Amino acid sequence: MAAATLVEITPTAGEPERTRIKAVAAYVSRNPNLTAGAILLLILLMICLVGPFLVSVDRARATSVLPDQAPSREFPLGTDDQGRDLAAVLVAGLPLTLRIGFIAGGVGLSVGILLGLLAGYRRGVLDVIVRMVVDTLLTVPGLLVLIIIADSIKGVISINSMALIVASLAWMQPTRTIRSQVLTLRERAYIQLARLNGVSTLALIVRELLPNLLPYIAASFVGAVASAVLATIGLEALGLGPQDAPDIGMTIYWAITFNALLRGLWWWWLTPIIAVMVLFIGLFLVSSGLDEIANPRLRRAA
């Protein structure tokens, strides 16, 4: 019998690249929501980063250019009644709106993670108190509470103050979500085994619970940012925001104040509304994609 001959097959130079491209394409086809949302948010991020090199942000101040100019080659998005270039307002204001959303969402999520972990893992009286407080506050209209808080603050409201005002109610939904997941995870076999082996509560939370909660935390953060941005725009549209800031909410407020819709200045209110729509659609798609990663049922359905 002739001996078998071993033939060594050497992969071509482009094989790893083609394999990587196929893997990325396969993931995009499995989770198109996350990809589409990331693209929309990337467009907004590029406006924030590249916009100052294309448009002078000094034009975002009042009386910087001719007022009530329709979109033209010189002013692509037109100007408002106060003589501000709306393209410059978008470039200067979009980062401020995102800043409020990320600060409020981050603070709210941090408080929610802390309360959700402690209430879900420790149970007992703490869990009863946290659950009762969250369930009670969730029945109260959040925008009404935020209006009362913002109106009670004397003086000029800054961007950071607005973020903290919104963050005061941004922790409740993350607390409920994280707590429900912790209640499920604490009964898993590996958690029970680690507890029997004498692992401390802090080590068990950091090493076992948090890594398994990362997809839920990411989805909760995106949802918290979206809720914070929506609450911020609602407050600012009512005139309770920083009056000197050219962010999206205050642009809508000035358009309402000066009756831009009735006067036919459609470009004044259309620009911030389109920016808000792109932002919320992007956040919703990213949140939906992250939820698909975190939820095994959705992964199996996909």
Distances 261 to 65, 84, 240, 276, 290 between C-alpha atoms, Å? 21, 17, 21, 17, 38
- Least confident range from 90-94, 118-122, 278-282, 292-296: namely 292-296
- Domain contains 52: no
Whole-number pLDDT of residue 177: 85
Whole-number pLDDT of residue 74: 85
- Domain contains 60: no
Q: Token pair of 32, please? A: 């198109």
Contact 86, 64 (CB under 8 A): no
DSSP assignment of 70-85: PS-SSSTT-B-TTS-B
**DSSP alpha helix (H) spans, 170-265:** 172-185, 189-196, 201-204, 210-237, 248-257
Q: How many domains does the chain have?
A: 1
Q: Which residue has the higher pLDDT, 296 or 38?
A: 38
Nearest in space to 294 (alpha carbons), one of 208, 218, 189, 180 = 218
- Domain contains 66: no
Name the DSSP class of 10: P
- Domain contains 12: no
Domain that holds residue 194: 77-301
- Domain contains 72: no
- Domain contains 71: no
Measured CA to CA, the distance from residue 292 to residue 302 in angstroms comes to 8
Average pLDDT over residues 198-208: 78
Whole-number pLDDT of residue 1: 46
- Domain contains 190: yes
Whole-number pLDDT of residue 245: 81
Whole-number pLDDT of residue 184: 83
**Percent over 90 (pLDDT), the chain:** 6
6-61 tens-digit pLDDT: 445 555 555 566 666 665 566 566 778 888 888 999 999 999 899 888 888 888 88
Please say if the pLDDT value at position 144 is more than 60.
Answer: yes
**Percent over 70 (pLDDT), the chain:** 86
CA angle 202/206/207 to nearest 5° reads 115
- Domain contains 68: no
CATH number of the domain bearing residue 262: 1.10.3720.10
Please say if the pLDDT value at position 302 is more than 70.
Answer: no
pTM for this predicted structure: 0.79
Please say if the pLDDT value at position 193 is more than 60.
Answer: yes
Give long-range contacts, CB 8 A cutoff, 24+ apart: 60-66.
60/84, 60/85, 60/88, 60/89, 60/91, 60/92, 60/93, 60/246, 61/246, 64/88
